[in-house]
C-alpha cells in the first residue's frame, strides 16, 4: 500500500480520488490544511505528498519531507511555481499534471471576458430585483477587436481559436513561439500598445513576475480589458488598481490574485478581510474576481485525479521514468 498525505483537500477532491486510490492500492490521507513548514509533519509515515497551487513547497518543507522519507511530491496542478525544484533535486521527485483540460481554463477566460464586457453580472442582479433598466450596460462587440495573448501554450492556443471564432484580430507574444501555427507574433511592447483586450496564459517565473506592471499599463490603450487566468503574480495588483482608478484600464477579469493563498478557495463571507488591495479591487464596478476556478470542470477534475494516480503509481510502484516528472534542466 502506498501512503499519500493529501493536502488542501476539498470535497470534490475526495470524490474524484478516493475510488481511484482503492483501485490502485493507494491510501490517501486527506487533510484540509495546506502544506507549509508548520503542517509538513502531517506527512510523516507517508510515501508521497499530494499538493495543489497554494501549498508552499519551499526549501524548508522539502528538507523536512526528505527527513521523513517522503519520496514524491505529486502536484495536482500544471503550474509549479510554488515548488522549489532546486531544493528537491536529488532528494524528492516532483511530478505534475501538465494538462487536464486546457479547454476549461480557456473557456473560463472567455466567460469572464463576455460577462465583463456585456455587463452580464450587473444585468443578472438587476433583473432579479425587477430592475429592467439598461443604464450603464453598454458593452462592445468582440468582432474586429484586437486581442493580445501572452503565452501561446496549450491554454493560450485554445483561447486564440475561440477568439478567431468571434472574428477578433489576434496578436501574441511568446519567447518560444509555436512553429507549427499561423499565430501572428509581435514584440511584447507592440502587443501591449495595440490590444483592446489582453489575456495572460504564460507561467509564473522570475521572468514573468509582474509582466503587467505600471510601465506595461502605461503602454496600453485607454480602456483596455485585462484577463488573468494564469497566476496572480503575473500582475502587480497595486499598479492594476492604479490603472483602474485613472480609467486607463477599462476592466479587469481576475481568476487569480497574487496574495490569493490566504483567501481563495474558502468561504470568508463571515470574516473581515484584511487584504485592502483585494477589497478595493472587488469593490470596483469593472473588476470581476473568481476564486481560481478556471480549472473547475468535471472533465478536468477526472483528468487531474487519473493523471496524479498514474504519476504516483509510475514513480512509487513501477519505479520507472515518469513523463510528467519535473526537473530543473
Catalytic residues: 231, 260, 292
* 295 binds ligand NAI, rule: CB under 6 A: yes
Please give the size of the binding site for ligand NAI, defined by CB under 6 A: 30
Q: Please report, as residue ranges, which positions from 211 to 230 form the binding site for ligand NAI (by CB under 6 A).
A: 229-230
Phi and psi of 149, rounded to 5°? Answer: -110, 120
Q: How are strands ordered across the β-sheet holding 224-228?
A: 169-173, 146-150, 197-200, 224-228, 249-254, 287-289
Which cell goes with 221? Answer: 490603450
* 79 binds ligand NAI, rule: CB under 6 A: yes
Q: Please report, as residue ranges, which positions from 229 to 288 form the binding site for ligand NAI (by CB under 6 A).
A: 229-231, 255-256
DSSP 35: P
Which cell goes with 256? Answer: 487569480
* 201 binds ligand NAI, rule: CB under 6 A: yes
- Residue ranges in the chain assigned as alpha helix (H): 11-23, 59-67, 85-88, 102-117, 120-128, 154-165, 188-194, 214-218, 237-245, 276-283, 298-312
What minimum distance in Å lies between the beta carbon of 79 and ligand NAI? 3
Residue 211: closest CA among 238, 233, 187, 185: 233
Residue number with CB closer to ligand NAI (221 or 231): 231
Q: Are 74 and 48 in contact (CB under 8 A)?
A: yes
Query: Which residue of the chain is nearest ligand NAI when measured via CB?
Result: 153
What minimum distance in Å lies between the beta carbon of 126 and ligand NAI? 28
Which cell goes with 181? Answer: 501555427
What minimum distance in Å lies between the beta carbon of 129 and ligand NAI? 31
Residue number with CB closer to ligand NAI (78 or 253): 78
What minimum distance in Å lies between the beta carbon of 150 and ligand NAI? 5
* Residue 167 burial (C-beta neighbours within 10 Å; 0-12, 13-18, 19+): exposed
* 171 binds ligand NAI, rule: CB under 6 A: no
What minimum distance in Å lies between the beta carbon of 185 and ligand NAI? 10
- Four-residue CA torsion sign, 181, 182, 188, 193: negative
Site string for ligand NAI, 137-166 (x = CB under 6 A): -------------xxxxxxx----------
CA distance 137 to 268: 29
**Which listed range, 14-22, 122-130, 172-180, 217-225, lies at the site for ligand NAI (CB under 6 A)?**
172-180
Cross-strand pairs, 74: 50, 95
What minimum distance in Å lies between the beta carbon of 137 and ligand NAI? 27
Q: Please report, as residue ranges, which positions from 97 to 116 form the binding site for ligand NAI (by CB under 6 A).
A: 99, 102, 105
CA distance 9 to 244: 35
* 202 binds ligand NAI, rule: CB under 6 A: yes
* 78 binds ligand NAI, rule: CB under 6 A: yes
Site of interaction with ligand NAI (CB under 6 A): 78-79, 99, 102, 105, 150-156, 173-176, 201-204, 207-208, 229-231, 255-256, 292, 294-295
Amino acid at each position: 500500500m502506498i501512503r499519500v498525505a493529501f493536502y488542501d483537500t476539498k470535497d470534490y477532491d475526495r470524490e474524484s480520488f478516493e475510488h481511484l486510490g482503492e483501485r490502485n492500492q493507494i491510501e490517501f490521507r486527506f487533510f484540509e490544511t495546506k502544506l507549509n513548514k508548520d503542517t509538513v509533519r502531517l506527512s510523516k509515515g507517508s510515501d508521497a505528498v499530494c499538493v495543489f497551487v497554494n501549498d508552499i513547497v519551499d526549501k524548508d518543507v522539502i528538507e523536512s519531507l526528505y527527513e521523513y522519507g517522503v519520496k514524491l511530491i505529486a502536484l495536482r496542478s500544471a503550474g509549479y511555481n510554488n515548488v522549489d525544484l532546486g531544493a528537491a533535486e536529488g532528494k524528492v521527485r516532483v511530478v505534475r499534471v501538465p494538462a487536464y483540460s486546457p479547454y476549461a481554463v480557456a473557456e473560463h477566460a472567455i466567460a469572464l471576458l463576455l460577462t465583463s464586457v456585456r455587463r452580464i453580472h450587473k444585468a443578472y442582479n438587476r433583473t432579479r430585483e425587477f430592475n429592467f433598466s439598461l443604464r450603464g450596460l453598454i458593452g462592445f462587440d468582440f468582432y474586429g477587436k484586437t486581442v493580445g495573448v501572452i503565452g501561446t501554450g496549450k491554454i493560450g492556443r485554445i483561447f486564440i481559436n475561440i477568439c478567431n471564432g468571434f472574428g477578433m484580430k489576434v496578436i501574441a507574444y511568446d519567447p518560444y513561439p509555436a512553429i507549427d501555427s499561423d499565430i501572428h507574433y509581435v514584440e511584447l511592447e507592440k502587443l501591449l500598445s495595440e490590444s483592446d483586450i489582453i489575456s495572460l496564459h504564460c507561467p509564473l517565473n522570475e521572468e514573468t513576475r509582474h509582466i503587467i506592471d505600471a510601465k506595461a499599463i502605461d503602454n496600453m490603450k485607454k480602456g483596455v480589458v485585462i484577463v488573468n487566468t494564469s497566476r496572480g503574480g503575473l500582475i502587480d495588483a497595486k499598479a492594476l488598481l492604479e490603472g483602474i482608478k485613472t480609467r486607463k484600464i477599462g476592466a479587469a477579469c481576475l481568476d487569480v490574485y497574487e496574495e490569493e493563498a490566504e483567501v481563495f478557495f474558502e468561504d470568508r463571507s463571515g470574516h473581515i478581510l484584511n487584504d485592502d488591495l483585494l477589497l478595493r479591487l472587488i469593490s470596483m464596478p469593472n473588476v470581476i474576481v473568481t476564486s481560481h476556478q478556471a480549472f473547475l470542470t468535471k472533465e478536468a477534475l477526472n483528468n487531474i485525479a487519473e493523471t496524479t494516480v498514474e504519476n504516483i503509481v509510475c514513480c512509487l510502484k513501477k519505479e520507472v521514468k515518469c513523463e510528467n516528472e519535473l526537473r530543473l534542466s
